[in-house]
Structure formats: C-alpha cells, structure tokens
Amino acid sequence: MRPLTEEESKAVFTKLANYIGKNLVHLIDRPDEPYCFRLHRDRVYYVSESSMRLGISVARPNLVSLGTCFGKFSKSGKFKLHITALDYVAQYAKYKIWIKPNGEMPFLYGNHVVKAHLGRITEDTPEHQGVVVFSMSDIPLGFGVTARSTVDTRKLDPTAIIVFHQADVGEYLRDEDTLF
C-alpha cells in the first residue's frame, strides 16, 4: 500500500473528472473525515484516513482490500474505473441518463444502451461524455460514455446506441473474484 505518484494521480483524476467534473474536489476535500487514495497491487482504493492507518499495520501479502476500490491500473499504466466506484460517481455525477425498465436487464448484462431504452437524459450532454446510468426509480445501475450529444440523439433511430457500456452492477456477480 502506498500513495499514488503524480502521474498515477493524474490518470485517476482525469478518469474521474470525466464523470463528475469539478465535483472531484468534494472527494478529496471532505467535510466529514479526511479521505485519501492508496495504491495496493495495482488497485486504487479510496480510504478514510483512520482505515488507512489501521491498514498500515497489515503486511502487504496479507492485505486483501481496504476502503472502496475505485479501479485498477492496467499493465500499460492506464486506469480503469470499476463498478465499485459507482456510489461516489453517482453521488456527484454531472451528466445522468435514466433508462426504462425494459432496458435495465440488457444493460445489466453488459450491453450498450440503445435509444429505445432511453427514458430521460441530462440536457446539453456533449458527445463522448462520461454519464451515470440510472433506472427510472433513480437507482444507479452503472456508467458509460455517450455516443452522441443530446441534440443529435433526436434524429437517431430506436436501435442506435446512445451510451457505450463501461461498467454495470451486474459485474458484482460476473466479475466477483477479480473486482475488489
């Protein structure tokens, strides 16, 4: 377990900022308790200071996980956001999309969101913007990247993809062994 280097921090922050924008400051500068990012076996954990201090006393091979896993670094140094970060990402999300009940299952099985399943979408969402996917009852289901801007989606046919799938809560079952 160690703090992130500047390059690693940069990779993590740019990925998070794609979803929550300037709200990223609220993750770092929290009023309740100080939180920090820690790297352990290529995974980035978002930990409260007290848990981090407890975790220091655990030897590296014995430490399985701590805090909330936000994602992992690939071997080539790219950062991949995991579904476990959804709680924080959904809380501060800048752009959201709500999908109809009949679209929930396809999305939770790892498919992209098509226009037919689109319930609501935040106004003025640009193209290739990270968005959080909600069910119509405001339960966060995952996140993805918009294929088109909100204005452009009007002209599309119902089968066109509007959000590329990135992560969904179905991964808790599918990738149970590698997720945390």
Partner 1 sequence: MDVSNILAAHAAKYQAVTVEKETPLDVDPGLLLVTDLNPIEEETYNENLEEHLQSLARDGVQALMASLFSLPTKTSPDGPLAILPPPVYQLPRAKPLPKPKPPTKWEKFAAAKGISHKTKEKKVWDEEKQDWVDRWGRHGKNKEVREQWIHEVPLNADADWDPRKAARDERKERVAKNEKKAQQNLARASRPQSERNEEIERTLATTRISTASMGKFDKKLDGEKKIRGVKRKFDPTEVPIATEKKNSLDLLAKMESDSKKMRREPRGEENPLNVRKAINRASGGRGGIALGRELSGGGGRGRGRGGRGRGGRR
Q: Catalog residues that contact partner 1 under the rule CB under 8 A.
A: 1-3, 5-6, 9-10, 13-14, 17, 22, 24-25, 28-29, 34, 36-38, 49, 52-53, 56, 123-124, 151
Characterize 113-146 residue by residue with b for buried, 16 or more Cβ atoms within 10 angstroms of its Cβ, and e for exposed.
bbbebbeebbeebeeebbbbbbbeeeebbbbbbb
Closer residue to partner 1 in complex, CB, 56/105: 56
CB of 180 to partner 1, least distance (A): 20
CB of 124 to partner 1, least distance (A): 5
HEC string for 23-69: HHHHHHCCCCCCEEEEEECCEEEEEEHHHHHHHHCCCHHHCCCCCEE
Closer residue to partner 1 in complex, CB, 28/139: 28
CB of 28 to partner 1, least distance (A): 5
Closer residue to partner 1 in complex, CB, 35/134: 35
Closer residue to partner 1 in complex, CB, 3/110: 3
Q: What string of DSSP letters covers 78-90?
A: -EEE-GGGHHHHH
CB of 134 to partner 1, least distance (A): 20
**Contact between 144 and 112 (Cβ < 8 Å):** yes
Partner residues linked to 96 by β-bridges: 132
